[in-house]
Structure 1
Amino acid sequence: MTNRIARLSEVSGRYRALLCDLWGCYHDGVRPFPAALEALREYRAAGGIVILLTNAPRPVPGVQRFLDKIGAPSDTHDAVLSSGEVCLTALREGVHGRRIHYVGPDRDLGMLSDAGLAPVPLAEAEALLCTGLRDDSTETPETYAGEIADWAARGLPMLCTNPDIVVDRGADRLWCAGALARDYAAAGGVVHYFGKPHLPVYDASFRLLEAITGAPVPRAEVLAVGDGIHTDIAGAAAAGIDSVFLTGGIAAERCGPDPLAPEPGRVAAFLAEERQAPTFWMPRLA
């Protein structure tokens, strides 16, 4: 049964570590949420460990630069981990080959150079690296229909750094790499995912926690916080950890007209429809 809570502090004493999502939970893509910052500070002051776990399609230094840009403080967390960082490790190790064709915005192209690689033309590629749409302000997944058919015909595996379908940036809803990966899989393409809800990013999180504490942290002592029912919540369940679903994020419209006052009946119906059972739910992190 999923229990409603008003504040993280109601349950945080049960958990030694927190895996907190970024977009929609910690910030809205433009600025941090003050209540979320205070909740995380309070948790850390009581001895808790916070890892900001994001499906951002770039390595940790790039995520940190973005956090600095929007004014995120450093005292709310112990570490940052991204799906892009996990993918970067695979690229460096050559798990999917060394000839990679890049699909995404110019700002994320540096992931290949970070791995000691240069992008290759499609005709020479062993795999595709997809970090998102090339221009998420004007394009949609349908823009890529012809390319997706071509990629599938070539039998190229896709490395998807961000399994999210959409994300909210302020008042704007934008398509993510997960939307292209979804359509590529539907066209018969093979997709390798590196972010939530898939286990590689959780395995990396547990290793990071062990590095911070000096010993493995039991999964019963780890709590995930997120607003993505198919990423944060489904991923927590797959990883064997408890979770807090924030209804006021990406699924706000499904839970009532007011993101800060979700209707319990609609929340219950939404969770039942999505076949997910987070441990707790609350409107926003506070």
Structure 2
Amino acid sequence: MPRIIAALSDIAADYDVLFCDLWGCVHDGLRAFPAAVAALQAFRAGGGTVVLVTNSPRPRADVAVQLDTIGVPRDAWDTIASSGDSARAAMFQGAVGRKVHFIGNPETDMGFFNPLKILENPVDIQIVPLAKADGIVCTGPADPLADPAVYRPEFLYAKAKGLKLLCANPDIVVDRGETREWCAGALAQLYTEMGGESLYFGKPHPPIYDLARRRTVALTGREPDPARILAIGDGIATDVLGGLGEGIDTLFITGGLAAAEFGPDVENPDQVALEAWITAAQTEPTYAIGRLR
């Protein structure tokens, strides 16, 4: 069973690099968590490297701007590896064809289609209606509060055409303040259940961890020792499962998505409830803590 710790500082000396989730750990979509920010600042002050590994469908530059807006200071992190970056690289290499049907929020997610200059001979991507598409790019539902089932008619048509769906955010849900919203992962899950093929690039899948390691090397000049990397997150099926798949230790934030499962004190999870839940989930983190602090 995971060891419940009081603070990140209890184990910080054992690690050189943090692969830290954002939503539910460092902020709630509206505001930063001061204790989490302070914990990351302290880790960096002690010589550690903080890589924000996020299933955001946005490029890392856009994620950085979002963090500025909600009050996460830049001295709390070193670099960002986003699901959006990993998925964009695949898209511009032709993973779902040249003509794509876009599902997402056109007001916030169009940065996904900005040219990716690091690739040689990238595919010229065109956004087209579904009837003319070679594939689908999904950054999330247009209305995050609507039941994903509203996409069933489109998905039936897409499945019949044999279109692949590129999922830029494998998360199923996220909590924006007190409001739970659907993410791209819910749509990709539905498409897969209907018999379509969905492609994933964020946690818990390997591409985003490869990106995180490459960005760590770019900062430090050396490949990080897996035994000295700690993955932090509130998603048992994303952050923890992904860390396990990479052979790295994990710190599960119980006060995030699953907070209601571990007793009335969000800051301090009930040991018995945690053990029962972890057993049922069949995915065991190395450590657990109520909130990152």
Cα drift, residue 255 of structure 1? 1.4
Higher mean alpha-carbon deviation, 256-265 vs 44-53, is at: 256-265
1:140-151 mapped onto 2 (5 Å cutoff) = 140-151=147-158
Count how many residue pairs are aligned between Structure 1 and Structure 2.
285
Q: Which of 215, 225, 241 is matched with 1:218 structurally? A: 225
Q: Which of 186, 192, 201 is matched with 2:193 structurally? A: 186
Q: Are 1:125 and 2:133 matched, yes or no? A: yes
- CA distance, structure 2, for counterparts of residue 111 and residue 44 of structure 1: 30
1:119-154 per-residue CA deviation (whole Å, 9 max, x = no partner) reads 0121221110000000114x1212212222222122
Contact 1:102 / 1:109 at 8 angstroms: preserved in 2?
no
Contact 2:96 / 2:165 at 8 angstroms: preserved in 1?
no
Cα drift, residue 209 of structure 1? 0.9
Contact 2:267 / 2:289 at 8 angstroms: preserved in 1?
no
Contact 2:86 / 2:211 at 8 angstroms: preserved in 1?
yes
Contact 2:139 / 2:168 at 8 angstroms: preserved in 1?
yes
Q: Are 1:230 and 2:230 matched, yes or no? A: no
One-letter identity of the residue aligned with 2:143: D
Contact 2:268 / 2:289 at 8 angstroms: preserved in 1?
no
- CA distance, structure 2, for counterparts of residue 128 and residue 226 of structure 1: 28
- CA distance, structure 2, for counterparts of residue 110 and residue 9 of structure 1: 36
TM-score, length of structure 2 as denominator length = 0.94
Structure 2 SS opposite 1:100: strand
Q: Are 1:241 and 2:242 matched, yes or no? A: no
1:34-62 per-residue CA deviation (whole Å, 9 max, x = no partner) reads 00011011111110000111000111111
Higher mean alpha-carbon deviation, 143-152 vs 215-224, is at: 143-152
Contact 1:14 / 1:221 at 8 angstroms: preserved in 2?
yes
- CA distance, structure 1, for counterparts of residue 96 and residue 151 of structure 2: 23
One-letter identity of the residue aligned with 2:163: L
- Residue matched to 2:65: 65
One-letter identity of the residue aligned with 1:92: F
- Residue matched to 2:18: 18
One-letter identity of the residue aligned with 2:171: D
RMSD: 1.2
1:219-273 per-residue CA deviation (whole Å, 9 max, x = no partner) reads 1110000000000000000111100000000010111233223211111111110
Q: Which of 218, 240, 253 is matched with 2:260 structurally? A: 253
Deviation beyond 3 Å, 4+ runs, structure 1: 113-116
Contact 2:96 / 2:136 at 8 angstroms: preserved in 1?
no
Higher mean alpha-carbon deviation, 218-227 vs 61-70, is at: 61-70
TM-score, length of structure 1 as denominator length = 0.97
One-letter identity of the residue aligned with 1:20: C
- CA distance, structure 2, for counterparts of residue 204 and residue 225 of structure 1: 16
- Residue matched to 1:176: 183
One-letter identity of the residue aligned with 1:239: E
Q: Are 1:95 and 2:102 matched, yes or no? A: no
Stretches of structure 1 lacking an aligned partner (at least 5 in a row) = none
Contact 2:136 / 2:163 at 8 angstroms: preserved in 1?
yes
- Residue matched to 1:82: 82
Identical aligned residues as a percent: 46
Contact 1:112 / 1:119 at 8 angstroms: preserved in 2?
no
- CA distance, structure 2, for counterparts of residue 119 and residue 226 of structure 1: 33
One-letter identity of the residue aligned with 2:130: L
